[in-house]
Structure 1
Amino acid sequence: MEGEAGSAEESAPSQDAEPIASPEAGPGAGSASDRRIITVALMLGMAVAAMEQTVVSPAMPTIIARLQGVEIYALVFSAYLLASTVTTPLYGKLADRHGRKRVLLFGLGLFGLGSILSGFSRSMPELIAMRTVQGLGAGAVAPIVLTILGDLYTLEERARVQGLFSGVWGVSSIAGPALGGALTDHLSWRWVFFVSVPFGLVAMLILALRVRETVAERESQPLDWRGAALLTGGTSALLLAVVGGEGRSWEGEAGLLALAVVLLALFFRQERRAADPVLPLDLLAQPSLAASIAGSFLIGGLLIAIDTYVHLFVQGVRGGSATSAGRAIMPLFASWSISVFIAAKVVPRWGFRRTAVIGSSFIAGGSLVLVVGAILPEWSRLAFLIGMGVIGFGMGPTSLSYILGVQNAVPWERRGAATGSVIFSRMIGGAVIVGLLGAALGHLLAWRLGGLSGVEIAAALRPETHDRLAPDQLLAVRSALGRSLRDVFLLVTGLAAIGVCCAWRLAGGRAVDRPDAPAVSAKDSDLLAATAET
């Protein structure tokens, strides 16, 4: 739809149209206490999904020692990432058609089942299979949680609440490694997977009892399963080409990329023909929505790239420990948690474009400070502290503007697909951009250290293996790695500058609710009983 004209057309659907679900009060629903406890349940669901991405890493050495299979251990992460990414847009579409509640409960249930089965795994292939089940459930959590928040709150309220959820995501990501290490050391590596199950069950129980959502099903177009299959296949080929490809030949990588291009081209062709597409391509025809999706792609990539390569610099160039590398990334999440609360106050006043441009400029400026730290290793500790803080301060307003801008530009019955598109692009961006930067780093190191093997380079990255190298070799590796990471940070800065351009394409002016958006307040939150009407 485009503008108010589109809203007017959708307010009077034809007999063949998709049912429009509008929020209405259900019996006994909609109290302020209901809304608060439902928000707590959503927060629990978001926290367990966020923590699961980082809590497993500290346990992997122990898991490998118990289950063997070191040559395929990377698939423990890749399988989860792949499954959660490819299902995100499909869950968003299903939430628009069948309601948010049942889709989120299904996702949380599948996530919990995968967690339990992962904890009981007896071999590495079995663990990889169960992590896939876990990822299939996780794909529903972030997009549906954010979509429900879009239903629960007005724009001004939503800015504050989604800022809080961004803080929860950041804190959970920080706490994950520490919790994973403690559980592995004092209980068992299996508790790394079991720990999320009780919280997920509590969230499911609250949602099942407190959320009243009835969507009257009407005759509509069948779901575009062909498009969903093509998107899944194309995305899977693309992700397999950029993650988990250790030991694969360049011919194999090229074949996967070619397959991804073909399948995704067929997907876009299918979506133009489909009566009810999985990813509505007409959203991309609106410059502000296309900018939000492209900007989210860059944010996802930049966030994972910074996390990955700052850790590598601290350990490989400065000779720090894994603990000190973890501390180096903490200013990003800390300042992010602060900035989202500030952004929540300024987004309704300044609008999506202005807020995102300022935030994106902070990200680009902070990335440039990382370049300075890589050029001057003796100042890198201070430079990284400042750079990470500045980047985090920009992440909050930028990511919040992209999510709110998309949700505010579409009606209720398209909000799930639109939110899913943003989350999907962010996850794809994280995998693709980190993969491309990793390839660039590999080529740069090969060019600068052509005489050393990969084993010798790897020995320089861990303090306990430094004795395997001669002093001049260790110095050469550190120097080459520092210069190569400097170039990677320059590429990150260039991508951040492109992000500023994306932010300029967002809708300008003061941010206000859509004309057809429900008016909601703490006293009158008639939001959770969605009844489709003609």
Structure 2
Amino acid sequence: MSADVEGEAEPSPSSGEAQFPNRRIITVALMLAMAVAAMEQTVVSPAMPTIIAKFNGVEIYALVFSAYLLASTITTPLYGKLADRLGRKRVLLFGLGVFALGSMLSGLSRSMPELIAMRTLQGIGAGAVAPIVITLLGDLYSLEERARVQGLFSAVWGISSIAGPALGGVLTDHLSWRWVFFVSVPFGLISMFILATRVRESVAEQRHPKPLDWSGAALLTGGTAALLIAVLGGEGRSWEGELLLLVLAAGLITVFIRHERRAADPILPIDLLAQPAIAASILGSFVIGGLLIGIDTYVPLFVQGVRGGSATDAGRSIMPLFAAWSISVFIAAKLVPRWGFRKTAVLGSILIAVGSLGLVAGAIWPESSRLAFFVGMAVIGLGMGPTSLSYILGVQNSVPWERRGAATGAVIFSRMIGGAVIVGLLGATLGHELAWRLGGTSGLDVSAALRPETHAQLSPEQLNLVRLAMNASLRDVFLQIFVLAALGLGCAVRLAGGRAVDRRDLMESHAEHPDRIAAAVES
């Protein structure tokens, strides 16, 4: 496969790597696509307390996020395979189109179940964005260039993420919560226009293409869906039902792994997971995804449900994390080539763990939570840049070009499934603890405590009771986030050590001894 800007000479497909004569135009289109995904993940969070206050359904609060994450997660590996067969451009255009449609329909939703369904459609489209964009960056740039460009993309992600919560809060307070879904549509349309008009792509035909692994995709979908439903729990569901779902998930995932080992063209490269450095990156990305989505989901809930802030205040509470992230990734881009993947990731993981303690402290002493949250979120952001960059670059640099898409898709898949599963676990903690602490109170509308304009629906005693219960329950959620951060540090120390060396340089220096390449990368 090769791709280039329209009007340019097409590169020779025998070169083994996609060559792009005009990288700037393509990079701009990819930045816009990434901005769409980044803004969507953060612009919705400040509006969710308002949405559940309108529709009720605090018991399925996490499902609005998890449905989106599940849909985007299970489609990520499939999009990676389709991109290899149909071309990056076509698949990315399709994903952006479905995402825009889902965004519009989400904004027009009339109930919580309907919103969850439309968020699922959004997720189906979003699954194409991150893996294809990041894979293309791996094709476009060398390791040293990629570290810098990833920093630029992380800045775009950070700016979009910073703008998202603030914009989401303002739109919710001054217009309507529906606009938090409409706002991302123009960005998607602009990105689609640039890709459709400026990028020309040709895909080499295969005489005997391997069959697409639809069976593997079905097994993966069923296994992850059963796992997520079990993790989220449900009102009135027995423990036997939960156990049955977990057994079903374990069975489907086991069959999936066995199937992938025999598949001619597997959805996920199981053999790559046997490499310690890649396995550490996959597990670390799982933790990173859970931490990020967990913080993005439950910090705004603390601000509104405990501190009594508005949607705008909830949006501002997330800004320090993404602001610090966008700064730290530029520093990490210089550290990775010098320090290597392991040292850089360990530094970032330590910062994430220390910052997580700030969230715990803020919940223990609510009167000081504003300062504790600001410092904690900033420190977490400073750690996210080095850690996430080390994971993705470490994996891309450990595999040859023809497997880069599959390996990148595996990292993105792990990060997204981590977000979906962990946010569900945290939601289960919140739901069970709230039910336990408020179990003796009948007719108490918890959602009324989430917006200043609905506080009058509760008596002062009831409002204080809900806030105390919410505070204690979210404290335990933040403790779980700290434990996850500590586990992430364990993943970081398993990355490849030594100075990072571009695999392309290894290929050239060991061209006569290919057996040395894997050993050099592994070290």
Q: TM-score scaled to structure 2, two decimals?
A: 0.84
Hey, what does 1:382 align to over in structure 2? 371
Between the two proteins, what is the percent identity of the paired residues?
78
Query: After superposition, what is the alpha-carbon deviation per residue over 1:312-370, rounded to whole angstroms, capped at 9, x for unaligned?
Result: 33333333333223222211111111111111111111111000000000000111222
SS at match of 1:507: coil
Q: Structure 1: where are the runs of 5+ without partners?
A: 1-18, 520-534
Select the residue among 316, 331, 337 that pairs with 1:348: 337
- Please give the alpha-carbon distance, in whole angstroms, between the structure 2 residues aligned to 1:64 and 1:423: 29
Partner of 2:516: none
- CA deviations on 1:226-279 (whole Å, 9 max, x unpaired) are 111100111122233345846655554444333222211211121122122111
Aligned to 1:42: 30
Matched, 1:22 2:16: yes
Structure 1 436/203 Cα, relative in aligned 2: closer, same or farther at 3 Å? same
| Cα distance in 1 for residues equivalent to 2:49 and 2:451 | 14
SS at match of 1:284: helix
Residue 381 of structure 1 aligns with an amino acid whose one-letter code is: R
Task: Name the CA distance, whole Å, in 2 between partners of 1:510 and 1:131.
Answer: 42
Q: Secondary structure at the match of 1:366?
A: helix
1:151 aligns with 2:139: yes
Residue 202 in 1 paired to residue 206 in 2?
no
Q: 3-state DSSP class of the match of 2:444?
A: helix
Give the deviation of 1:297 after TM superposition. Answer: 0.6
Q: CA contact under 8 A between 1:242 and 1:431: conserved in structure 2?
A: no
The one-letter amino acid of 1:23's match is E
2:417 to 428, 442, 446: 428
Q: Is the 8 A contact 1:78 1:244 kept in 2?
A: no
Relative distance call for 1:88 and 1:311 in structure 2 (3 A) is: same
Q: Does 1:361 align with 2:350?
A: yes
Task: Give the whole-Å Cα distance in 1 for the aligned partners of 2:361 and 2:107.
Answer: 44
| Aligned 8 A contact 1:21 1:215 in 2 | no
Task: Give the whole-Å Cα distance in 2 for the aligned partners of 1:189 and 1:448.
Answer: 30
Q: Deviations over 1:361-384 (max 9, x none)?
A: 000011122222222223222211
Q: 2:305 aligns with which of 309, 316, 323?
A: 316
State whether residues 273 and 279 of structure 2, in contact with CA within 8 Å, keep that contact through their aligned partners in structure 1.
yes
Given that 1:411 and 1:517 are in contact with CA atoms closer than 8 Å, whether structure 2 keeps it comes out as: no
Q: Which residue in 1 is equivalent to 2:270?
A: 281
Deviation larger for 217-226 or 399-408: 217-226
Distance 1:204 1:270, change over 3 A: same
Contact 2:165/2:318 (CA < 8 Å) preserved in 1? no
State whether residues 96 and 415 of structure 1, in contact with CA within 8 Å, keep that contact through their aligned partners in structure 2. Answer: no
Q: Deviations over 1:190-240 (max 9, x none)?
A: 665554344323323322344344332332432221111100111122233
1:240-259 aligned within 5 A = 240-243=229-232, 245=234, 250-259=239-248
Check 1:507–1:167 CA distance in 2 against 1; reply closer, same or farther (3 A cut).
same
Change beyond 3 A, Cα 1:265–1:183: same
Range 282-291 or range 203-212, more displaced: 203-212
TM-score normalised by the chain length of structure 1 = 0.82
Residue among 81, 85, 96 paired with 1:93: 81
Point out the more displaced range, 143-152 or 170-179.
170-179
Tell me if the contact between 1:111 and 1:137 (Cα under 8 Å) persists in the aligned partners: yes
Letter aligned with residue 134 of structure 1: Q
Q: Which residue of 2 aligns with 1:525?
A: none
- Structure 2's unaligned 5+ residue stretches are 1-12, 509-523
Query: How many Å separate the matches in 1 of 2:138 and 2:313?
Result: 38
Distance 2:90 2:433 in 1: 49
Partner amino acid, structure 1, of 2:16 = S
Contact 2:296 / 2:318 at 8 angstroms: preserved in 1? yes
Q: Provide the residue aligned with 2:7 in structure 1.
A: none
> C-alpha separation between the residues in 1 aligned to 2:315 and 2:43?
13
2:203 counterpart SS class? coil
The Cα shift of 1:143 comes to 0.6
Maintained 8 Å contact 2:46/2:165? yes
Q: Which amino acid aligns with 1:83?
A: A
Query: Quick one: distance in 2 between partners of 1:517 and 1:296?
Result: 26
Q: What does the per-residue CA deviation read over 1:476-508, in whole Å, with 9 as the maximum and x for residues that have no partner?
A: 544444333333322221111110110001111
Distance 1:250 1:338, change over 3 A: same
2:89 and 2:289 map into 1 onto residues whose CA distance is 27
Aligned with residue 164 of structure 1, among 128, 137, 152: 152
Shift in alpha-carbon separation, 1:180–1:363, aligned structure 2, 3 A: closer
Higher RCO structure, 1 or 2 (CA under 8 Å, sep 6+):
1
> Per-residue deviation at 1:292?
0.6
**Mapped partners of 1:85, 1:463: distance in 2:** 35
Q: Which of these residues, 211, 222, 230, is aligned with residue 199 of structure 2?
A: 211
RMSD of aligned C-alpha atoms?
3.3
Q: Does 1:140 align with 2:128?
A: yes
